[in-house]
Amino acid sequence: MLLKPSGAGSRLCPGKPSSFRKQSSLQSRRRNLKTQSLTPWYNKRGDNHPQHNQFFSSPFAGTMNIQDYFTRISYKGPSENLDLEMLTAILQHQIRAVPFENLSIHCGDTIELELEQVYDKIVRRKRGGWCLENNQLLSWALKTLGYNLTLLGAKVFSPENNAYADENNHLLLNVVQDGKSYIVDAGFGTVYQMWEPMELISGKDQPQTPGIFRFLEEKGTWYLEKSKRKVYIPNHSDAKPDPLQASDCRKIYAFTLEPREIEDFRAQCAYLQTSPNSVFVTKSICTLQTTDGIRALIGWKYTEIKFNFKQNMDLVETTILPDEEIEKTLKVKFNITLDKKLQPVNAGGRSSMF
């Protein structure tokens, strides 16, 4: 999520952006969904690419099935419509079933980029993942269904540094539907997780349950921001806004429409799980969207948020858990059972995730 800042005071709410390059489009074909097992898709690479050979020789090759994915996210809706309504339903089912989490790092494991390993982890072992896993799995499912999409890379904004990352450290999807482009992101987690595909249009407020999102575009660079609500914390006398940013909106990330491949994120995948400057190293994170808010476990701090509990105000309830409650909380609140012992951590100062 966080990298090294690339210059303070970057753009959106308010400020001036810098320029990037624009997109070209990627075609995809619809596949038969009835009973078949599905081999992975590989963006723009040819079948003879060595990475393909590695995948096809893996123990998971040819075993990914869209119906098993639907079961994992508890989706029982149509699979033939290929419309915005179905896209929205699949996104919402995934973010409410698949946690945004980095717990593997704090169990002594390495987070991998290979699609079959991502599928095995999330679908079979019922774990969650971060953006490179959750959005990669979603992109496979949508391509399998027949949606036309490309992968994009974004630079996440750090309020602590008042800057965007130097490199693309977030994966998201650009889905073209009925001649319009929609940004689809199932891998940001926290209160800045979109619940619906967002039409790629500059300056338009797009209200959702978590809040009002909007894109701004300047010189080929797109910026996502969210209007902030106050928060109500029981036993606190005043509702307080986000202390990390005094303005009325929160910058989230910046991106261009240049198509990316999952291999483009390999260096960042390594950096984010090893660098002492990475929030994923300094904090053990598990968040899950609910029907009216979010659950989050950061280190030992468990938080439940109910969106719009009162007008323009979110309810925030927090508990500090003892070590012996961590495993139970992961199981009951996130449906996660870990294979190895988790070492919770919440270092590096105040989190900007909420």
Catalogue the active-site residues.
131, 170, 185
CB 196 within 8 A of CB 208: yes
Closest C-alpha among 153, 146, 138 to residue 91? 138
Between CA 260 and CA 136 the distance in angstroms is: 12
User: What one-character DSSP code corresponds to residue 121?
Assistant: I
Q: What does 134-166 look like in DSSP terms, one character per residue?
A: HHHHHHHHHHHHT-EEEEEEEEEEETTTTEEBS
End-to-end CA distance of the chain: 14
**207-210 LR contacts (CB < 8 Å, sep 24+):** 209/292, 209/307, 209/308, 210/294, 210/307
The helix or strand, by DSSP H or E, that contains position 89, with its residue range, turns out to be helix 84-97
SS3 207: strand
Closest C-alpha among 116, 75, 120 to residue 94? 75
Interstrand relation of 313-320 and 230-232 (parallel, antiparallel or unpaired): parallel
> In 10 A of CB 129, how many CB atoms?
24
CB 146 within 8 A of CB 24: no
